[in-house]
Amino acid sequence: MLSVANSTVPRVHLLGDLKRRCGGRKTVDVEAETVSQVIAALEARFPDVRQAGLGHMSVAIDGEIMTNADYVTVAPEAEIHFLPALSGG
């Protein structure tokens, strides 16, 4: 369980479309222990986020970009970015 007492929780950084869907916020702090919980928390707080399709996006946790990261653990101090999924040659 997260320690609510020290109030350190993962922070989602928002750019562009996602920022707009979150009321213009640059960052949102969410109580979550996995990426899927991060998404659920964002969608619960900002219903417009549901149309953004976060489940299909890549996620960067502390600078490391991943796909299929739903159950990857996010540390309490994690910095999270969602990025469009990419193609590579």
Partner 1 sequence: MTSTSFKHIGQRSIRPDGLDKVTGKARFGADYYLPGMLVGVVVRSPHPHATIKSIDTTAARAISGVKAVITAQDFPEISHEEAMSGESVVDFRDLSHNVMARDKVLYIGHPVAAIAATSQQAADAAAQALQVVYEIHPHVLNVDEAMASDAPILHSDLDPDGGEPTNIAKRHVFNRGDTKQGFARADVVIEREFTTKQVHQGYIEPHAVVADTGEDGRSVVWCSSQGHFLVRDQTAKVLGWERSRLKVIPAEIGGGFGGKTTIYLEPLAVLLSAKSGRPVKMVMSRDEVFMATGPGPGSRVRVKIGATSDGKITAAEVWMAFDAGAFKGSPVGAACQTVLAPYEIHDVSITGLDVVINTPKVAAYRAPGAPIGAFAAESVLDEIAEALSMDPIDLRYQNAVEEGSESTYGPTFKLIGFKETLEAIKEHPHYKATLGPNQGRGVACGFWFNAGLGSSATVSIHEDGTASVLTGSPDIGGSRASMALMAAEVLGIDETRIRPSIVDTDSIGFTDVTGGSRVTFATGMAVIEACGEIVEDLRGRAAMIWGAEPDDVEWQSGQAQHSDGSKPPLSLAEIAGSAAKTGGPIAATASLTARGVGPAFSTQVCDVEVDPDTGLVDILRYTTAQDAGRAIHPSYVEGQMQGGVVQGIGWALNEEYVYDDSGRMENPMFLDYRMPVASDLPMIDTVIVEVPNPGHPYGVRGVGEVGIVPPLAAIANAINGATDVRLRDLPMSPPRVVDALSSELNGATGTPAG
Angular region, 52: left φ>0, alpha ψ -120 to 50, beta rest:
alpha
Between 66 and 75, CB nearer to partner 1:
66
Least distance (Å) from partner 1 to the CB of residue 71? 10
- How near is the Cβ of 11 to partner 1 at its closest, in Å? 12
Q: Which is nearer to partner 1, 19 or 25 (CB)?
A: 19
CA-to-CA distance for 36 and 26, rounded, in angstroms?
20
85, 58 Cβ separation under 8 angstroms:
yes
Amino acid at 63: G
Where do contacts with partner 1 occur on this chain (CB under 8 A)? 13, 15-17, 19, 53, 56, 60, 62-68, 72, 79, 81, 83-89
